Amino acid sequence: MRPPVPTEMSCRELVELVTAWHEGALPLADRTRFEMHLCLCTGCRGYVQQMRRTIEVTGRLTEEDVAPAARKDLLRAFRQFARSKGEPR
């Protein structure tokens, strides 16, 4: 049996998993994909950095801190950023 090939994580998926990742709640396969994406995607690196800063300030991060509308804006910003950098994501 072939080991499952890790599929590429999208920015959207990353944003959805970031809380679980930060809490260390992601299964290893997802964590690997998450961190792989972080290596490749400057936009998401910035997002995670921003998240950590939020946690430092508030002491925690809740779902309300990343409202769906804000996430949409972030994703749009990521895509524009990635495009301006000539990266595929």
Residues that bind Zn ion (CB under 5 A): 11, 41, 44
Written as six digits, the tokens of 44 are 């998401």
Closer residue to Zn ion, CB minimum distance, 18 or 68 = 18
CB of 11 to Zn ion, least distance (A): 3
CB of 62 to Zn ion, least distance (A): 22
Closer residue to Zn ion, CB minimum distance, 35 or 54 = 35
Residues 6+ apart with CB under 8 A from 75: 11, 12, 15
Q: CA nearest 47: which of 84, 14, 9?
A: 14
When CB distances to Zn ion are compared, the closest residue is 41
Closer residue to Zn ion, CB minimum distance, 58 or 85 = 85
CB of 5 to Zn ion, least distance (A): 19
Contact at 8 Å (CB) between 11 and 89? yes
